[in-house]
Amino acid sequence: MSSIFNEIIYKPLYNLLIFTYNTASFRDFGIAIVLVTLAIKFILIPLSKKQIESQKKMQELQPKIKAVQEKHKNNKEKQSRALIDLYKENKTNPLSGCLPMIIQLIFLIAIYRVLFNIASANLIVNPDSLYAFVRNPGQINKMFLGIIDLSAALNYGSLTIKSIPHILLVLLAAASQYYQTKMLMAKQAVNKTSAGQEDFAQIMSKQMLYLGPILTLFIGIKFPAGLALYWLVSTVFMIAQQYYVEKKAPLNP
């Protein structure tokens, strides 16, 4: 399985990044990361669009789902059958958003490995990973726009004024993650249990509102800046796509 992952996903992404660096980045590895990230997100648009639409449908159905759960709360078998009928009636599947999410996660892991391995090698390309038609650039320029070292992680013991752009990059990545999660939550109906408390799904959503940015901060601080740049561009793209999908087909009130 590991060899299949390397040959089908990891190696093509590795070569795409180096090819982009050689031909379209002005010898700036950060620009290459931005361009490859955008290329990946455009390729995955059909999947991410399907995932967003699935999430919207499930949000629209939340009041009806809650009503079914309350009506049959003492009979789980009837509750399950009623929920299945509800999904069929509305032509939706609660699991339909899982496959796009899994595929996007696979690409996320792959690009993470590509960036991490290149950064760990001090931005020296591994010639064994290159296709014959991709030129080896040797030592990659590690500076993004001449101000952020993409191979370095933040070191609180040696912060200087030159660290400010790197810190801002990490903070922007975390803020964009917070905003994206906030967008997902904005259209959710407020469902409460019979005791007047929020249901489990909404509690988890509120926790993710903060856990996501905290995880992004952790990645941005502990790992090379190239990963934070990828995370920021990817999240901003998702925000734009989500905004476009919702504007094109807003949720029913």
| Residue 81 or 174, more confident | 174
* 205-219 pLDDT per residue, tens: 566 677 878 888 887
Say what the pLDDT of residue 76 is: 79
Assess if residue 253 is contained within a domain: no
Residues paired with residue 149 on neighbouring β-strands, in sequence order? 143
Say what the pLDDT of residue 108 is: 77
* 150-206 pLDDT per residue, tens: 888 887 777 888 889 999 999 999 999 888 888 776 655 455 544 554 554 555 556
Assess if residue 159 is contained within a domain: yes
Say what the pLDDT of residue 81 is: 83
Say what the pLDDT of residue 96 is: 62
Beta strands in 114-238 (DSSP E): 143-144, 148-149
Say what the pLDDT of residue 61 is: 76
Q: Examine the pLDDT at 245 and tell me if it is beyond 80.
A: no
Assess if residue 124 is contained within a domain: yes
Average pLDDT, the chain: 80
Say what the pLDDT of residue 1 is: 60
Range of the domain at 174: 2-248
Predicted TM-score (pTM) of this structure: 0.77
Residue whose C-alpha is closest to residue 103's, from 33, 51, 181, 52: 51
Domain count across the chain: 1
Rounded Cα distance, 150 and 2, in Å: 27
Say what the pLDDT of residue 251 is: 46
Backbone phi, psi, residue 198, to 5° = -65, 145
Backbone phi, psi, residue 105, to 5° = -65, -40
Measured torsion, CA atoms of residues 239, 105, 185, 166, in degrees rounded to the nearest 10: -50
Assess if residue 39 is contained within a domain: yes
Q: Which helix (H) or strand (E) holds 42?
A: helix 29-43
Say what the pLDDT of residue 187 is: 56
Assess if residue 219 is contained within a domain: yes
Q: Examine the pLDDT at 121 and tell me if it is beyond 90.
A: no
Beta strands in 84-212 (DSSP E): 143-144, 148-149
Assess if residue 28 is contained within a domain: yes
* 1-12 pLDDT per residue, tens: 678 888 888 999
* Residue 23, amino acid: T
* 37-71 pLDDT per residue, tens: 999 888 888 877 777 777 777 777 777 877 887 88
* 24-36 pLDDT per residue, tens: 988 899 999 999 9
